[in-house]
Structure 1
């Protein structure tokens, strides 16, 4: 059988440069001549199977990185140049191979630009059809891919069994005393470096394929830096599990899949930082005290709270929490739930919820029991979250997080000790018929307004 030959010279050169090796030193380790290595790096000689195995054993290189297309870059470049606008520009695929191998960052930039072009063209097409009154345009055409992903993830449990099992196995397999940063360096040859704000002003994290370095912003706290490192590890080590989970989601477009892949990768990162078994035990032993839990795992309040929502392994489940994060203007940034976010029963849009009051007392934990119009009660815990560090003249990004559960479970939580009065809330003003509510912002859809010039109620909108 013929031996498979692979031309991957630029990749070999990047590996050598990342390890600060001369051609002579690498050639000696691979048991070949420096001149032969020079020909390999210039794509004038192939990488044989024997050399691939040697590279893998000596430098712990993932064979997929050398044999396959880097992160699908070649396939995506082919799609770009298959567009009618560019279809006649290249005589064949060889130039694309050279670009993908020799300049992966530039190739990634071209792919991102083309993706943005396609998304914008699709949205303009929908908008044109809507303005023209075309009845063939579906109602969902105005919905962005991000909206679709949010709806899908909010409706299902925030637990992905394969990702959890793989993350826990990975964490247990780390060398004693080692961490995720060490794994990136030792197993993938990726060095991590913190960059000052003036060098990387707009990004939290960036992986440079050419230099094999992961750059993190100095704006990030230690916990956020650890989360970004874990995200990179999850992207590399849990790729197959993330793709399998992605295939289970009913998404209608490639852009929606890309956004969902990002969300699943960040969830996998939390699973790496807080392995399931150890985290569940810590949560139960501390009676779900989020501050104690985050100290134990060196994560942020937001990370620990989000991880609590993911504890739904059959036979080893935690309390079924749900979570919501908003900004100061009331925009909902994310929702999630151990059994899906309880939109119908809880809603989350009542202005009397403590998540809104949290902005008045930054970093203080507010716990209270809320009562819905149908009598259902929930224990809610709210606290503000601080964004990246800002310089003088910049405005701090501050959001507020609400994590809640059925009030019947309050005795299992340290926050359930509060004897505060129950607060009467509703799912949203338009769906709530509570009379005399001082916080009402809109009249209910189900009742007619009571407009009486001789009297006025306590609320902004009186109704019959």
Structure 2
């Protein structure tokens, strides 16, 4: 919060509350002239003043967050780099807009996304012109809406976390007794019997008529417990999940149904790894993922996913970014409690260690990676998956990555042996080739959007798509 100039946000807050400058100054125990200087960006907003704002008006400090500002700058860079504008807009101008007029910035981002949705709809319809049938193309993929739904909440759903902790205590569950405890609770409370079918292809299948929950025996115990906890979420917290999924950001039944599944999965992770116990264990073990997995009896990916949700006000863990990719670079999971943000356009960066994990399966890799804006992150990556269920049956392999800002790195065991103070130790990566600002990257796969290329038939450079 040092040197944070938030004058426009202060004025907007005062206007929304309908109070005068003198009244706000009195409530904050500062002089009117000092408040005027804050609102005119002549003085920075300090932590003591921010805390008084929170105490006096219950203001969420997140609206003054530098992390939110970084997210917004990334989205603005994408929105304003599509080549449609008359002139180049500098990062400094985008930062000024995100800092002082965030509502305007968010409106521009929303307009850009709406325009992109229209383009994607037109392209999808054009691709269908040769088909025997015609249909409306989706405005935006439902799974993207669900990703944004969780992203806007910093991947933390307080109601589900609290409910999971209460149930964990009420049922007397423990790190190694979750599987048996959930099976007993389902039978006692809901008259649900478990069936482990050898031929079951689904991981979980519930039959409401017979109250039978079919679980695949190919899953490990921790995975089976997760599936039981997911079904328990629908049985006990259906009304809460429905209310949370009834959000204007989710348009259409498909998006809302996907959100319900995502919320049930969130509850399952929170029940197996209850917030307070898990955070204390994570801090005690210096966020050693494999040790935590052995202690709680769950897999590497489950621990990583849960670590990215520990953002309860007053008892926050390290703010992590979690991602899961396949060998082709497709991102199948992406959750963030931090400001790190890969672009929605053009994939992710091949220099990122999450792809190197496929070359060294089962080994935990670490990487200091620096984004074009100068921010440096510590990344941990490892392959996960399950083998073939039988001969000729494909298995599945992914790489998961867990990252945090380098300022949090000393709290992690994975920083051991790394020179965190040396800027040259970090690998330069980008948000995705189409929006990456690094002109000399030899791994560039696409030309940058909105930049003219230096095309010369008599000259060949090491860098693909050199920028003029």
Q: Shorter-chain TM-score category?
A: 0.5 to 0.7
TM-score by length of 1: 0.66
**Which residue of the other structure, out of 185, 205, 210, is the alignment partner of 1:183?**
185
Q: How far did residue 154 of structure 1 move? A: 2.8
Q: How far did residue 128 of structure 1 move? A: 9.2
Which residue of structure 1 aligns with residue 272 of structure 2? 273
Q: How far did residue 432 of structure 1 move? A: 2.0
**Which residue of the other structure, out of 407, 410, 422, is the alignment partner of 2:426?**
422
Which residue of structure 1 aligns with residue 382 of structure 2? 383
Partners of 1:154 and 1:340 within 8 A in 2 = no
Which residue of structure 2 aligns with residue 458 of structure 1? 462
1:289 aligns with 2:288: yes
Partners of 2:349 and 2:430 within 8 A in 1 = yes
1:5-404 matched pairs, under 5 angstroms: 127=125, 141-175=138-172, 179-196=181-198, 199-201=199-201, 203-248=202-247, 250-339=249-338, 342-343=341-342, 349-387=348-386, 389-404=388-403
Q: Please give the alpha-carbon distance, in whole angstroms, between the structure 1 residues aligned to 2:333 and 2:356.
A: 18
Q: How far did residue 147 of structure 1 move? A: 2.7
CA gap of 1:237–1:368, structure 2 versus 1, over 3 A, is same
TM-score by length of 2: 0.66
CA gap of 1:336–1:399, structure 2 versus 1, over 3 A, is same
- How many residues end up aligned between the 2 structures? 333
Partners of 1:384 and 1:398 within 8 A in 2 = yes
Q: Please give the alpha-carbon distance, in whole angstroms, between the structure 2 residues aligned to 1:433 and 1:339.
A: 21
Q: How far did residue 347 of structure 1 move? A: 9.6
Long gaps (5+) in structure 1: 1-122
Which residue of structure 2 aligns with residue 410 of structure 1? 409
Partners of 2:222 and 2:299 within 8 A in 1 = yes
Q: How far did residue 446 of structure 1 move? A: 4.1
- Secondary structure at the aligned position of 1:405 is classed as strand
- Secondary structure at the aligned position of 2:462 is classed as coil
* Larger Cα-atom Rg: 1
Deviations 1:348-389 (A, max 9, x none): 711110111111111111111101112111111111110364
Q: Please give the alpha-carbon distance, in whole angstroms, between the structure 2 residues aligned to 1:259 and 1:454.
A: 53
Q: Please give the alpha-carbon distance, in whole angstroms, between the structure 1 residues aligned to 2:237 and 2:250.
A: 21
Q: Please give the alpha-carbon distance, in whole angstroms, between the structure 1 residues aligned to 2:310 and 2:144.
A: 25
Which residue of structure 2 aligns with residue 22 of structure 1? none
- Secondary structure at the aligned position of 1:430 is classed as coil
CA gap of 1:298–1:249, structure 2 versus 1, over 3 A, is farther
Q: Please give the alpha-carbon distance, in whole angstroms, between the structure 2 residues aligned to 1:436 and 1:250.
A: 38
Q: Please give the alpha-carbon distance, in whole angstroms, between the structure 1 residues aligned to 2:254 and 2:299.
A: 30
Q: How far did residue 323 of structure 1 move? A: 1.1
Q: Please give the alpha-carbon distance, in whole angstroms, between the structure 1 residues aligned to 2:346 and 2:378.
A: 14
Q: Please give the alpha-carbon distance, in whole angstroms, between the structure 1 residues aligned to 2:248 and 2:401.
A: 26
Q: How far did residue 273 of structure 1 move? A: 0.2
Partners of 1:158 and 1:340 within 8 A in 2 = no
Partners of 1:379 and 1:405 within 8 A in 2 = yes
Which residue of structure 1 aligns with residue 26 of structure 2? none
Which residue of structure 2 aligns with residue 67 of structure 1? none
Q: Please give the alpha-carbon distance, in whole angstroms, between the structure 1 residues aligned to 2:227 and 2:248.
A: 24
Q: Which runs of 4+ in 1 moved over 6 A?
A: 344-348
CA gap of 1:411–1:169, structure 2 versus 1, over 3 A, is same
CA gap of 1:205–1:293, structure 2 versus 1, over 3 A, is same
Long gaps (5+) in structure 2: 1-120, 420-424
Q: Please give the alpha-carbon distance, in whole angstroms, between the structure 2 residues aligned to 1:241 and 1:300.
A: 28
**Which residue of the other structure, out of 434, 446, 453, is the alignment partner of 1:449?**
453
RMSD: 2.9
Q: Please give the alpha-carbon distance, in whole angstroms, between the structure 2 residues aligned to 1:339 and 1:379.
A: 12
